[in-house]
Chain A
């Protein structure tokens, strides 16, 4: 589903390279965990996948279902099924959450040549998804993410993911800021979406999340490269010993 080949990327308009020859393959149905020390380039990778223009790919390619997405802008990538749950969701005053959800869902449908949702159908879907994630309807009446607590923002991201039904889901530290109960609720939400035609890239620092969302593969990112790949036991190893050994071995 996703194939990243020898990817090099820098901060646009500078010479600062952040991703330095990264290779990664994720198959349909797979849950791939991405771990790695602070500043290793995990969020940058997620931004580049989503099409953020602050970064510039200088070498390599990103193939999604066999085709390069480098020429697509963020909205086209999203509409073709790539979703990023942000590490730091953005507050947008003046944009009502409900209006935003409706426009996003319908614009994606339009892009794929599907009919727009009727208002009752839209309302039904939002209500149901919000209830599953224990999101109060009151929260949805506010401007997008404005004044939401850290945990509420993360839940709102997963709500959007559920409603937009993407094929490739990138979760950037969705667990940070969630209390123990919320972690369970959000993980259940993610697990409910697991299916043979959907892949997940789960960026996290902690084994705790991976006990709920059990990964098929675990990849360690360091200085913009994948330096080690393993199965779920690799995450446990890291939890016990830290990154020093792996970084040492790779150097």
Chain B
């Protein structure tokens, strides 16, 4: 949707904006889809062209001035060939999407898998519209989306093995979309794993639309480990059915410019949303996690716990907005964001927001910069562990604690390995 405001003098486009407009002109003939899909693409690109990318004057981009931060766009040439990797956990069922191209050959009981490209080609009403005029990720993705996956999990299906969406990039650009629908009473784990397999710069936009059916119990892990020169723009939109439970982990350990948005609504009573965030940031990078949740119906609960460890000159952002609709009584929503700043130049901005229109609700939020617990440090040192090493263990513990909440031991171990490897490299 493009709410066109009349612009009398067209803005002067930045290098990146010009590159996006030019790329669209080059690619438009071969982008999949006609009819309304094409109209949506045109509108989205037009939004970029006339309004530019958002600056800090746009409220939802206040801490991430995309216009200033996105300096260049990698060329849309063919990226070097890459191969599928082993899963994050050894028992994962891997669905590779390499340089934006999915492999849909795999089949699992109760799960229907198709390519998003086929949807774009066959359904000219395929949903690809941006969320609104401030949805820059949507605008970029809608303009350029070429492929992705459409996954339907039939009612009552239990995924015996975690499903890994292995989204690897070697260079260039990929614009992907994922439509995932979990039927009623389904259970399972999805690992959305973004990684870079080369030192070349890449630009990835990835949007997923997830529907969690009534009574479903789903764990979704977004593990983003792009390279230090990559731009990663991702968005997850979800709807939670009655008595459904979605546990979402958002783990960022890479990327030069990262924005991960999560937008959810509870559409069925008794639903529960749990979000856990881990941001391990270092170097000269910018990482933004922006989250909005609408408690739209009564009796729903949510908890968000975000832990950040920031080194060097890295900058992190967490925006969390919880809206409680007027008749959404008995909502219970909690949000906490804690940060360990490991250098004087490290920076974290947290903006928790509660918009409550119902009266019988329990909501709370807190955002703090914390320090290593002195008693914990002393206890470890009193056992002969040198101060540096003891600090390392405690930094690790600060984030590992979040991972240890998971029931799946393999997954806990894999994520703990990711965390210790990252800290070993950066601390």
What residues of B have a CB within 8 angstroms of the CB of A143 in the complex? 397, 401, 404
Quick check: is A187 within 8 A (CB to CB) of the other chain?
no
Contact mask for chain A residues 162-204; partner B; CB cutoff 8 A; 1 contact, 0 none: 0010000000000000000000000000000000000000000
Q: Given that A52-B378, A100-B380 are contacting pairs, would A94 and B401 also be in contact in the complex, using a CB cutoff of 8 Å?
A: yes
| Contact of A90 with B375 in the complex, beta carbons under 8 Å | yes
| Contact of A73 with B397 in the complex, beta carbons under 8 Å | no
| CB proximity to A under 8 Å, residues B186-202 | none
Q: Given that A75-B390, A143-B404 are contacting pairs, would A92 and B379 also be in contact in the complex, using a CB cutoff of 8 Å?
A: yes
What residues of A have a CB within 8 angstroms of the CB of B390 in the complex? 75
What residues of A have a CB within 8 angstroms of the CB of B393 in the complex? 95, 99-100, 103
Q: CB < 8 Å: which of B375, B382, B385, B401 contacts A93?
A: B401
| Contact of B394 with A95 in the complex, beta carbons under 8 Å | yes
Contact mask for chain B residues 384-398; partner A; CB cutoff 8 A; 1 contact, 0 none: 111101100110111
Q: State A103–B381 Cα separation when bound (angstroms).
A: 11
Quick check: is A239 within 8 A (CB to CB) of the other chain?
no
Question: What is the interface size of chain B, counting residues whose CB is below 8 A from a CB of the partner?
Answer: 23
Contact mask for chain B residues 322-343; partner A; CB cutoff 8 A; 1 contact, 0 none: 0000000000000000000000
Q: State A100–B400 Cα separation when bound (angstroms).
A: 14
Quick check: is B376 within 8 A (CB to CB) of the other chain?
yes
| Contact of A75 with B387 in the complex, beta carbons under 8 Å | yes
What residues of A have a CB within 8 angstroms of the CB of B379 in the complex? 86, 89-90, 92
Q: State A74–B389 Cα separation when bound (angstroms).
A: 13
Contact mask for chain A residues 69-88; partner B; CB cutoff 8 A; 1 contact, 0 none: 00001110111000010100
What residues of B have a CB within 8 angstroms of the CB of A160 in the complex? 383
Rounded to whole Å, the gap between the CB of B53 and the closest CB of chain A is 39
Nearest to B373 among chain A residues (CB) is A92
What residues of B have a CB within 8 angstroms of the CB of A50 in the complex? 382
- Most chain A CB within 10 A, of B382, B387, B394, B398, is at B382
Quick check: is A139 within 8 A (CB to CB) of the other chain?
no
Quick check: is A28 within 8 A (CB to CB) of the other chain?
no
| CB proximity to A under 8 Å, residues B362-384 | 375-376, 378-384
Q: Given that A86-B379, A90-B375, A92-B376 are contacting pairs, would A75 and B396 also be in contact in the complex, using a CB cutoff of 8 Å?
A: no
| CB proximity to A under 8 Å, residues B30-83 | none
Quick check: is A211 within 8 A (CB to CB) of the other chain?
no
Rounded to whole Å, the gap between the CB of A51 and the closest CB of chain B is 7
What residues of B have a CB within 8 angstroms of the CB of A73 in the complex? 381, 387
What residues of A have a CB within 8 angstroms of the CB of B385 in the complex? 75, 103-104, 107
- Most chain B CB within 10 A, of A52, A77, A104, A160, is at A104
| Contact of A92 with B380 in the complex, beta carbons under 8 Å | yes
Q: CB < 8 Å: which of B375, B384, B398 contacts A78?
A: B384
Q: State A232–B389 Cα separation when bound (angstroms).
A: 42
Quick check: is A231 within 8 A (CB to CB) of the other chain?
no
Q: State A73–B384 Cα separation when bound (angstroms).
A: 10
| Contact of B378 with A53 in the complex, beta carbons under 8 Å | yes
What residues of A have a CB within 8 angstroms of the CB of B394 in the complex? 92, 94-95
What residues of A have a CB within 8 angstroms of the CB of B382 in the complex? 50-52, 74-75, 77-78, 84
Nearest to A86 among chain B residues (CB) is B379
Rounded to whole Å, the gap between the CB of B11 and the closest CB of chain A is 48
Rounded to whole Å, the gap between the CB of B395 and the closest CB of chain A is 10
Q: State A166–B383 Cα separation when bound (angstroms).
A: 10
Q: Given that A74-B378, A90-B375, A95-B393 are contacting pairs, would A108 and B398 also be in contact in the complex, using a CB cutoff of 8 Å?
A: no
Nearest to A78 among chain B residues (CB) is B384
Contact mask for chain A residues 86-123; partner B; CB cutoff 8 A; 1 contact, 0 none: 10011011110001100110011001000000000000
| Given A53-B378, A75-B386, A93-B401, 5 extra CB contacts under 8 A | A50-B382, A90-B375, A92-B394, A100-B380, A104-B383
Interface residues of B (CB under 8 A from A): 375-376, 378-387, 389-390, 393-394, 396-401, 404
Interface residues of A (CB under 8 A from B): 50-53, 73-75, 77-79, 84, 86, 89-90, 92-95, 99-100, 103-104, 107-108, 111, 143, 160, 164
Ranked 7 nearest A-B pairs via Cβ: A94-B397, A94-B401, A78-B384, A74-B381, A108-B384, A104-B383, A90-B379
Q: Can you name 29 A-B residue pairings with CB atoms under 8 Å?
A: A50-B382, A51-B381, A52-B382, A53-B378, A73-B381, A74-B381, A75-B381, A75-B385, A78-B384, A90-B379, A92-B379, A92-B394, A92-B397, A94-B394, A94-B404, A95-B380, A95-B394, A95-B400, A99-B393, A100-B380, A100-B383, A100-B393, A103-B389, A103-B393, A104-B383, A104-B385, A107-B386, A108-B384, A143-B404
